[in-house]
Each structure stands twice: as structure tokens, then as C-alpha cells.
Amino acid sequence: MRKGAKRKTKHTDDSQPDSQPVASSQENENKITKPKAKRLKTSKPHSEPEYFEDKRNLEDLWLETFPVGTEWDQLDAVYQIKWNFSNLENAFEEGGLLYGKKVYLFGCTEPQLVMHKGENKVVCIPVVVAVVSPFPPSDKIGINSVQREAEEIIPMKQMKMDWVPYIPLEQRDSQVDRLKSQIFILRCTQRRSALKHSEIGSIKEI
């Protein structure tokens, strides 16, 4: 009886290794039959093309024209606003009031009290004056203020001002000496850095 029992236990002991390959084969089947998850390709959002407005031929005409009588510390405030001078530009186009004429331009500013962002604010509004003439209006400039007893007339060159030809944007790649400009603007070549060493009176004059 003892021998039979030993054989029985031996049979059970030997049967254990046979169950392991079956389990491993099932695992292999699961590994083989299990489908791989596919990655979804995310489509990149199409960015809308940017469009830039074409610059007009005389777009910076008012910017190039020096505003006479405007204090230097006010110039930045004037140029911060994108003013629209399309009426002046149209006057130089074919059929316009100034087309084909020799014109001299100078600028100035008019302080106006306007409502800006819910509060009253003094804004220097730029103005461009056009003079139709075959020759420059003047080579002198008058200086007047509340502090002065009388108007002082001095040469424009003393204030580093002069009439210079205006070159439209479409013609700036050409040689300036070959162009016959009909538009002349008043320009000031005084540098702001030099004004720091000048007297307050001379700064106010410009």
C-alpha cells in the first residue's frame, strides 16, 4: 500500500510541470490576437493667411512735413495717432485739385479738447497747408509767442529748416537727381539730441 501511495504522489508531482506550458501558450495566443491600438493622426489647424495692406504712394506725406510751431515734446504725441490724410493724397492724383502743379507743403498743429476714452484730453491735431507756387513761398520764418513783445523774423536756415523735394514711395528706388519732383515739403534737420544742450528759449522757437 505504501508503494501505491508513493506512486500516486509521484504521479501528481509529475503532472504539475505539464500544466505550465498550456498556460504560457494561452498567454502567447492572447499576445498574438490582441490588436494594437492605432494612433489617430491629429490634423494641424490651418492658419489663415495674413494680408498686409499695400502702402499708398503718398502715405507718409504728412509725416515728412515738419509741423511748424509745435513744441518738440509734443511731436511724439502727434505721431502716435495714425491720422488719415487721404484727402491730401487724392488731391495729387490725376483729376485732383493739385495734380501736375508745383506745391509747397508745411505743417502745423491745432490743440483741441476732445473726448478720449471717457475723459477730456487736449490733443494736438496735425494740419498740412498746401501752397501752389512756381517758387518757394519764403526762406524766412516768423517767431511769435505770448512772452515776446514783437514778432521776430529770421532766416529758415538759422533754424535748420529748408524746402526739400518729396519723393513718393514708388519712386524712392530711382535716382533722386533724375526725378523732377513737383512736391516740396518743409523739413527741419535739427536733431533732438542737440536740443538738450540748447537754451529753453531756442527750443520753444522751433
Report pLDDT for 200: 42
Report pLDDT for 74: 87
What one-letter code names the amino acid at 103?
V
* CA dist., res. 79 & res. 75, Å (int): 6
Closest CA to 190 of 179, 201, 206: 206
How many CB atoms are closer than 10 A to CB 168? Answer: 17
CA 62 vs. chain centroid, Å, equals: 17
Report pLDDT for 98: 95
Query: Which residue spans within the chain are E strands per DSSP?
Result: 103-116, 119-132, 140-143, 152-155, 161-165, 183-188
Report pLDDT for 56: 84
123 and 111 Cβ atoms separated by less than 8 Å = yes
Q: Which residues of the chain have pLDDT under 50?
A: 6, 8-15, 19, 22, 195-203, 206
User: What is the value of pTM for the model shown?
Assistant: 0.64
Give the model confidence (pLDDT) of 36-74 as tens digits: 666 655 655 666 666 556 778 899 999 999 999 888 888
